[in-house]
Structure 1
């Protein structure tokens, strides 16, 4: 024993300097501000997402699938075929309309995201506001989660607010939060799982330090530590996967990350056999919490299809629920093989398809909606909902990701490492499908977006410098940061009319199309 408290020893054994040491320290007793600041940013995000949410009053882009599938889940418990011209009928008779024909419909994605869309339809009816409500709410809440998790990672309320503000001002986040498609839900549940594992890291390390302080258990494997926050993380990851299978990559990445963190905590605490201790005492509970619970959650979201006859390939349903469940499993497996075949052979050309190596430069955004109405005071008017990220965020994130990669290689700072992991997990797998010419779109990058914002915020912390830096440096860093945030705000403000479907003159619309590939 050295006489040093275990928590202090954990800090001392880190590879110096940690990124946290470079960031602005948290002011003691600042917990209230730590909530009020992120809530203020979240309020701004909510206003931007809910303002005129029911406009355009149309079924835009893939709402033609997901809004109707969600409504079918409410009525039948499974996706259902629709009648001809269902889009027009929805807008003409939104409240008391049966838009469905006989028979279950084959769907390409699991039902969780559509169940969440259905909540808005249940509350507000089968209207554009109703089917977009849940996406707007989830998008708004994701701003709060990112602001809080960034604050936890940096111990800075200001940097946490900056993270939330940047996410609130991103164009693609705004558009996917105002459209009844699935990607904002995938992003939300992955971000929520990420927040849970970051909290678990802090809590479990503190618990390990306390146990060692109480027992002096440095020999052997060290004490057992239960990671309670991994349970909600597993629920979130299961729900992300039950929205789109993209969540599978994060189950693997975050599951491995928790084990690596457990080993690192035991090493830092001076446990004699940290690798064996983490594998023997923490690997199985973490696997059950993250992987097994994710699978259980995933299957639970299929309950409507499992316990109701009529779904695609479901067939007869036994009256006993236990029998019905086991009867459904082979058919559900067959259904998943059909879904897998669809996803791996989808090579139909689309006017707005793009490849993952083009996403960060925003080469090919997606026009969700475009018309040429009247009423703008010019001979030709344009009204568009363009799914595109804010360039001042996306283009800068290319640089900040490279900075974090260098920072992690030199200093092994966990914040840089986990941000890179979250970003690469959402990006790299798509390269395989891109090389095989699988049809894909820019909004598939939505789960990467919170990690892109985190990379910018962490680099902002490096620019501002530590509290012990010379005042001139901190003033200079704050000036650069302020100028950047104002640039993002101006960029977002300029693009806002084509993000929110406002009517513009053709010339004003065309001025916002900076590149020919944006049209």
Structure 2
């Protein structure tokens, strides 16, 4: 019940006035329309100039002149298919195009509670990690906005949880195969460690499915595929070593590699291609028939696949060459300390109008900003996890660091590209796990004395309460509420937040 209650709390926050603001926020002007196009055509069609189309959407979305001419788009279709489910149920309305991100944001809190419980073997720490994400400002804003990054985060978190389950099941099978000593306990055995199988591993295949869906939403999901495959191989090596294998790496190569990389990659690849079904079945999708009638070295590959490859290569060229200046772009060095958040929406409200008082002008703003005290605490928590992993060989710390690294480090390869700090939402769950693990260490082990527990509970509880207060204080600028300009400005703690 603990994880369910935390998820219900998160859902109440995310669905509260979800249809506000009524206008398209930031890049919703692309994804909300593309999702509607997928629903109508099966592929991304062509819209009028967005400055003309946006007011039309708000006036009457049913009469917008959507052309069936295929449009070049910068990201694969899966995330937009997810948004299309909300639009199918509620129409091309603000609530409709944000509905599914709010659902996934809520479910991700539930998944993080359960993932943390499995990782730490503690319901309290699992629920704490979920509660921290429930009150993270960036996760909250992205859950209420029709952008792709929250969808990537959801699928990646599902993959991470699946791999944790697979780890537990595989180790349990190895332990069951070990000989039992006179004391009734399993003991390491070289022959068993080298040769025992771990059976079918459906949860690893499920991870491949989720990672394929993540990559089919945005390509940065591919980095998680690479990082997580290395992580699971190292988990297999560790399990073989504990079981007594004399050559654990060779044992993994013989017994586990086929059920790891060689099983997950095809599942991810097929999943990725399946998300393009609407494009494959169309005649007017962008570059759909580019390869028809073309010869050459690769002519033995079916023309639709070659056409998709040509299209995807163009998308790659576009993404790596995106260097146009944007006011809210930021360098990844500043992300963890919240150096440059993105202002998704801002409107000045004259005094006496739209809920603004009669004495001073007001502001309505949506700022994609993580809860500062949570993120700054996470910086310290990551250092603690580095210590636990490097010097204490704590596999839990290594798992969390791997996930953070997969979502964060690759962006340093693209520092010259136009990138934004809200991309960091993909590793927010693991920052929350890091803080929960640090607070668990502060509380002390289960067998600690009552006095030790008390001295740990006071600072840990104080930090959690301060993080919650910080979220409440900034809540108006996460949800676009009308507040006096002076109150909005007081919440802009640094000039770079404006």
Would you say 1:332 and 2:308 are equivalent positions?
yes
Would you say 1:484 and 2:457 are equivalent positions?
no
Task: Give unmatched runs, 5+ long, in structure 1.
Answer: 1-35
The residue aligned with 1:158 is: 124
The residue aligned with 1:229 is: 203
Post-superposition shift, 1:219? 1.6
Q: Which structure 1 residue ranges, 4+ long, deviate > 3 Å from structure 2?
A: 213-218
The residue aligned with 2:67 is: 101
The separation in 1 between residues aligned to 2:89 and 2:68, in whole angstroms, is 26
Post-superposition shift, 1:470? 1.8
| Greater displacement, 444-453 / 162-171 | 444-453
The residue aligned with 2:403 is: 422
Deviations 1:58-99 (A, max 9, x none): 1110000000000000011110110241111110013x2244
The residue aligned with 1:291 is: 265
The residue aligned with 2:234 is: 260
The residue aligned with 1:67 is: 32
Post-superposition shift, 1:217? 6.8
The separation in 1 between residues aligned to 2:73 and 2:39, in whole angstroms, is 16
* Match 1:307 to one of 281, 295, 310: 281
Map 1:60-209 to 2 at 5 A: 60-84=25-49, 85-94=52-61, 96-209=62-175
The residue aligned with 1:21 is: none
Post-superposition shift, 1:327? 2.3
Task: Give unmatched runs, 5+ long, in structure 2.
Answer: 181-185, 293-298
Deviations 1:235-280 (A, max 9, x none): 0000000000111111111111111111110110113332211111
TM-score by structure 2 length? Answer: 0.93
Q: Secondary structure at the match of 1:361?
A: coil
Post-superposition shift, 1:225? 1.0
Kept in 2, the 8 Å contact 1:308–1:317? The answer is: no
Deviations 1:332-386 (A, max 9, x none): 0001110110111100000000010000111111111111123310331100111
The residue aligned with 1:41 is: 6
Would you say 1:475 and 2:454 are equivalent positions?
yes
Would you say 1:518 and 2:485 are equivalent positions?
no
The separation in 2 between residues aligned to 1:451 and 1:289, in whole angstroms, is 26
Would you say 1:219 and 2:198 are equivalent positions?
no
Post-superposition shift, 1:148? 0.6
Kept in 1, the 8 Å contact 2:189–2:244? The answer is: no
Map 1:447-486 to 2 at 5 A: 447-486=426-465
Post-superposition shift, 1:317? 11
Query: Could you say what the CA RMSD is over the residues aligned between the two structures, in angstroms?
Result: 1.7
The separation in 2 between residues aligned to 1:174 and 1:346, in whole angstroms, is 28
The residue aligned with 1:501 is: 480
The separation in 1 between residues aligned to 2:67 and 2:281, in whole angstroms, is 21
Change (3 A) 1:338 1:316: closer
Kept in 2, the 8 Å contact 1:385–1:501? The answer is: yes
Deviations 1:437-492 (A, max 9, x none): 10000111111111111110001111001121121110111111111111011000
The number of residues matched between the two structures is 476
Post-superposition shift, 1:224? 1.4
Kept in 2, the 8 Å contact 1:217–1:271? The answer is: yes
TM-score by structure 1 length? Answer: 0.89
Post-superposition shift, 1:284? 1.5
The residue aligned with 2:295 is: none
Kept in 1, the 8 Å contact 2:57–2:64? The answer is: no
